[in-house]
Chain A
Amino acid sequence: MQGTVDSTPVVTGHELATHEEHQDLRLLGLITFLCSEFLMFAGFFAVFLVFWGSKAEWPPKETEVELLLPAVNTFILVSSSLVINLGTKAIKNNDLAGLRKWFGITAAMGAVFLVGQVYEYMNLGYGLKTNLFSNCFYLMTGFHGAHVFIGLMLILGVLWRSRRANHYNDITHTGPEMAEIYWHFVDIVWIVLFTLIYLLTLI
């Protein structure tokens, strides 16, 4: 602080003028936001764990989860994270067609995941209100599903905008990158969720 006067570089106004338009900070902002968003899920995870720790039977007999469909769903969602990465890699090489192809595939995989989720809900034989476990189950997977839906909308938004000439290219591609990061976030949350609800409850 006080002693740093000497080291201050002399910068004239003209040089500073180039600094005025700061770099694109949107990715950083999104990551900061997602750190915060993750803590909301962490709150749900904590509630789930506390209930688990205090109950003799978790999940209770009549509300057990099935494993096969969610496992397939997990495979689809995790792979889609790799696919979307191919999309942003493509646009970084100025390959718009590649971006649209891979983002299209990711969107389809996301949609399949959501459909699978709804199918699972309809075939479980118990609902949100059945018991404490089903409360947690539907709330957590439901909130995650809502986030998948938002991510899907972001991807479709990128696809929609990609119709404009030169909207995305090897220099400006923050939009696809943000969609990708959000999609990874959704994926990471799901991995924790899947482990908690489906895998660890098997033990």
Chain B
Amino acid sequence: MAQADISVAPVVAQGGHNHPDKWKWYDYFTFNVDHKVIGIQYLVTSFLFYLVGGFMAVLMRTELATPDSDFLTPELYNAFLTNHGTIMIFLWIVPAAIGGFGNYLIPLMIGARDMAFPKLNAIAFWLNPPAGALLVVSFFVGGGAQAGWTSYPPLSEITANLPQTLWCLALVLVGTSSILGSVNFLVTIWKMRVPSMAWDEMPLFCWAMVATAILALFATPVLAAALILLVFDINFGTSFFKPDAGGNVVVYQHLFWFYSHPAVYLMILPIFGIMSEVIPVHARKPIFGYKAIAYSSMTICLVGLFVWVHHMFTSGTAPWMRIFFTISTLIVAVPTGVKIFSWVATLWGGKIRYTTAMLFAVGLLSMFVFGGLSGVTLGAAPFDIHVHDTYYVVGHFHYVLFGGSVFGIYAGIYHWFPKMTGRMLNEPLGKVHFVLTFIGTILTFTPMHSLGIQGMPRRVAMYDPQFTDLNQLVTVGSYILAVSVIPFYINVIWSWMAGKEAGPNPWNAMTMEWTTASPPIIENWEVLPVLTHGPYDYGFEPKEAATGEEALVPK
């Protein structure tokens, strides 16, 4: 291997020099291998799909403003319900949090010039737009898939066959993208850190991405297996999930949740990483419990692979399984709690700057505690059996996915937008965005818990009139959420064009991405930086000067 290095070096050395000094706008629409271009591609694409998925949600909530089915046809409602979930998970949170932030930040944080496999990275991104296109097309060739994002058979095998097949293909595409991306993350973080950076000197976002990548690598192929079997059942006459021909629908549920429960952690672990970056910077304090946070990510990754049956407590699950998976589910709350307390302890006594990024991070903290606790209640089989398939579940997972993941993505955007574009976002507009989002989230998702406990089933276009009042409150909340994105998109577009110049390190942060220009030059640094202090050494004087960049010295 060492020999190979030397001989290859002159050929590839400075290989980037056949590229321009700066990417033009149209480079972002091409098969570009720069990790920063790919990161932006992921982020912009996912923010577009966020609008599509949000549009579907608003239409559904409008339907649910009255108990009768009087706005959408039931089939269209089901199609929106299915595709809202699918788009928000696979084309919004996952590509934004993992693809977007992961690709943009990982090489910058570990002092690499690019990811380990740049071409593979570009391929992984370009699998996403066709997947989105397939979902859109599925609406025009049979009204869209209607079996929910879980697509349980037999329902998924007897309704809307062609759209369901397209849906499966779309998921296989994003799944492949996710696997290829994870290979890249794992190898990059493992092998391409600057020589001076040990594992426990990495920013915590990198640890979170290691855990995320491992989960994606182990869980995603199992989903692919499930979807392949489903496609064969629908189109090629097999009977894996057809009970009348000897098949077994619960097998699908096991395969599906073996992936889709870890998928929950795929959507939150990178967000935990973002939290661990944003909070110390804006609280001006070293992170509390670096190792605890780093290893708790790995613990969540490990335990998270063994909790999937808690989605299936009402699927005729054997009692021993209910006991085992209740216990394992409750165990996941421990490493998660470790993180929450570490962040709170980081905030404690800090010089907190209430920037919009920090507001979203603290907002996430409160939302996630609430969503996490309702998750603990759902993890307990005796309670879960009563609220299974009710709005309680919908309320719970929107609290963790919206109050958790989406808040985290917002926090990340407000924090790293200056790095990505070289310009600051407008803070007052950001605060308007935060307040609207915060109020909208509480108003939309809190009443759902109450509705669920009262027995309102999920995935329905019509409901009993006794639930009308709370549903109308939820609908109002969803409109506020819809409005809340307007200041955000205006802010992003306006600031990108004409915002205040950011400079290399507007937050006086200490991780490595802030040692280069904003936006970073094409190969990230003229000369690779040297690590002279830990990622969160606020208040410590560095013992050696960095590569002459004052930005490294904490004020």
Residues of A within 8 A of B (CB): 1-2, 4-6, 8-11, 13, 16-26, 28-29, 32-33, 35-44, 46-47, 50-51, 54-55, 128-129, 131-132, 135-136, 139, 143, 171-172, 174
Contact = CB atoms under 8 A, between A and B. Distances in A.
A2 B540 contact: yes
B340 to A, nearest CB: 20
Nearest to A143: B228
A172 B2 CA distance: 11
B535 interface: yes
Contact of A47 (B200, B240, B246, B531): B240
Contact of B187 (A2, A5, A28, A135): A28
Interface of B: 1-5, 7-9, 12-15, 112-113, 116-117, 120, 179-180, 182-184, 186-187, 190-192, 194-196, 198, 200-201, 217-222, 224-226, 228-229, 232, 236-240, 245-248, 251, 254-255, 258, 286, 290-291, 527-528, 530-537, 540, 542-544, 547
Q: Which 6 A-B pairs have the closest CB atoms?
A: A43-B225, A40-B221, A13-B527, A1-B534, A135-B238, A39-B221
20 contacts: A1-B536, A2-B286, A8-B530, A16-B527, A17-B527, A18-B9, A29-B116, A29-B117, A29-B184, A33-B179, A33-B183, A36-B217, A36-B218, A43-B224, A47-B229, A50-B248, A51-B248, A51-B251, A135-B232, A171-B3
B12 A16 contact: no
Contacts of A11: 195-196, 530
Describe A's contact surface by its main secondary structure: helix
Nearest to A172: B4
Contact of B544 (A10, A131, A136): A10
Nearest to A171: B7
B238 A32 contact: no
A33 B184 CA distance: 9
A24 to B, nearest CB: 6
A126 to B, nearest CB: 13
Nearest to A142: B232
A16 B528 contact: yes
Given A1-B200, A139-B232, A171-B3, A21 B543 contact: no
B237 A26 contact: no
Nearest to B232: A139
A34 B334 CA distance: 32
B554 to A, nearest CB: 12
Given A5-B544, A135-B232, 16 more contacts: A1-B536, A2-B537, A5-B540, A13-B527, A17-B528, A20-B13, A20-B14, A23-B2, A24-B4, A39-B217, A43-B225, A51-B248, A131-B245, A131-B246, A132-B247, A172-B8
Contacts of B196: 8-9, 11
Contact of A40 (B1, B222, B542): B222
Contacts of A21: 5, 8-9, 12-13, 15
